[in-house]
Amino acid sequence: MGIVQRQGLRNTAISYVGLGIGFVNTTLVLPRLLVPAQLGLMTLLVALATLASQFSALGFTNTTLRFFPYFRDKANGHSGFLPLLLGLPLALFAIVTTGLWVGRPLVLRYYAHDATLLGAHYGVMLGLAGCILLYNLLEAYTKSLFHTSFSSFLTEIVQRLLIVSAAALYGAGWLSFDGFVLAYLGSYATVATLLLGYLAFIGELHLRPTRAVLAVRPLPELLRFGSYALLSNISGNILVTIDAIMLGSQRSFAEVGIYAIALNISTALAVPFRALYKTAYPLIAEYWKANDTVRMLDFYRRTTRLNTALGAYLALGIGLNLDFIYALIHRPEYAAGTVAVLLLLAGRLTDGITGVNGIILVTSPRYRFDLLFNVGLCASIISLNYLLIPHLGLAGAALSNCLALSGINLLRTWFVWRAYGWQPFDRRVLYLLLLAGAAGTVAALLPTPANSWQRLFERGGVFTVLYGGALLLSGLVPEVSSLARRVTGLGNKDEG
């Protein structure tokens, strides 16, 4: 088994373990121990730090993945690539940090409602930005060396355990809130330091600068590619950070904290989509290489049906049991995010139903248009937030996210259809949505027991039986029927 396969298996196992730890951490532990304003502060600090690190990185994480093969030469320290990779972004980070520190009064004025809380931890935000930047650069380097599992282990497991431990110490009274914030920063610093040590351990920490690096590929070429990648990366990060940034400014950190939990709950819907996209990306790239449009269109339609079936089940399952999820937190104030969860689920469901249009576009000859769509998405969500948050608060942030994400995905689907004549929808997609809606309506109309666990099992059980049975009887999604036959052993008997 090759190194890529071994790393892939390890990453899969690490991702699932990390997913469980992350759910417990972000949905159960932190909201139990932190009031909404405190959780909102932590969310905002990470959001601002992430954007600052992205601007400082110059797109060099993508540049590394794209150009490192030209520099690969371990005997010569990869021609001094690592000093170049670290040097330019860290130099720019010094400028960005100086600007943020000098502009501190303006930033605090932007968050006038909670300026005291943010001002007390402003330096932590700058520290987080530096740690995130360093880690992302080193991670790109280790990926290019085909050492991916250790970095995944650090972020998916080690860092989350460190945060959970710090939260437990805070809950037990061993740490003040200020101490918890510093420990949170320490978790980011720890994983960056450990990754640096790992590179030294495997003999790949080549920090001696050399002029040979400029002879391998021209620096202007690296900077041009990095600039394009920077725009793409910033667009992607704005989607997940701008809601917290604007909500904290126009409303309060408490609403940011409530919104963060709503966003975490809705993220469960995106997990199977992301797993599918990891497989879809190289597969669709191969279809483009072979010019196999027939198989690509078939894959496009099958994944759309599968995402619709699975996405509708998860979205309605989460929506039907939101009261149970919020009951686990034991802080009633977080339940104010219920409407926001439903709106975010609608947006993520639309994102999944539209299939793999984004991957088809970004791997196609018209890949540059994907940047336009990402920029359009950012512009849409910022504009909608500006209009809706002052009137609707966190529900307005969720609505703008839903509208922007749904709109841009429908436009991207239209673009793929207009450019290549492919669209993934047929009547089976509509039937799947109707079946899910009918099963969900029946489950929602059941009598409501006082016990939250009983509600979970009754609603979830009825919905699963009705919807699952309808899928199997209708045969609308052959992959589901095939899986059921394999699980029950009926397929083997038929074949025998």
The model's pLDDT over 170-210, given as tens digits with 9 standing for 90+, comes to: 989 999 999 999 999 999 999 999 999 998 898 888 777 77
- In a 13 Å sphere around the CA of 9, the CA atoms on its Cβ side amount to 5
The model's pLDDT over 74-85, given as tens digits with 9 standing for 90+, comes to: 767 676 788 888
Q: Per this entry, what is the length of the chain?
A: 496
- In a 13 Å sphere around the CA of 452, the CA atoms on its Cβ side amount to 10
State how many domains the chain has.
Answer: 1
Q: What is the pLDDT of residue 22?
A: 76
From the DSSP assignment, how many helices (H) and strands (E) are in the chain?
25, 0
Rounded CA-CA distance 23/164 in Å is: 11
Both structure tokens of 496: 């025998």
Assign residue 252 a region (left: φ > 0; alpha: ψ between -120 and 50; beta: otherwise): beta
- In a 13 Å sphere around the CA of 148, the CA atoms on its Cβ side amount to 18
Both structure tokens of 271: 């997990």
Position 286 in a domain:
yes
Position 311 in a domain:
yes
Residues 6+ apart with CB under 8 A from 396: 385, 387, 388, 389, 390
The model's pLDDT over 16-70, given as tens digits with 9 standing for 90+, comes to: 677 778 777 877 788 888 999 999 999 999 999 999 998 888 888 877 777 777 7
Q: What is the pLDDT of residue 456?
A: 87
Percent of the chain past pLDDT 90, that is, above it, reads 41
Q: Is 354 helix (H, G, I), strand (E, B) or coil?
A: coil
491 pLDDT above the threshold of 80: no
Position 310 in a domain:
yes
Position 432 in a domain:
yes
Domain with 321, as residue range(s), is 252-472
276 pLDDT above the threshold of 80: no
pTM: 0.85
Position 302 in a domain:
yes
Rounded CA-CA distance 46/185 in Å is: 10
Stronger pLDDT, 347 or 8, i.e. the higher one: 347
- Mean pLDDT across the stretch 339-361? 89
Position 490 in a domain:
no
- Mean pLDDT across the stretch 313-338? 90
The model's pLDDT over 99-134, given as tens digits with 9 standing for 90+, comes to: 999 999 999 999 988 999 999 999 999 999 999 999
Position 159 in a domain:
no
Handedness of CA 107, 110, 112, 118 (dihedral sign): negative
**Closest Cα partner for 309 from 298, 301, 321, 320?**
301
Q: How far is CA 16 from the centre of its chain?
A: 15
Instruction: Indicate the range of 263-272, 354-363, 415-424, 487-496 predicted with least confidence.
Output: 487-496
Position 211 in a domain:
no
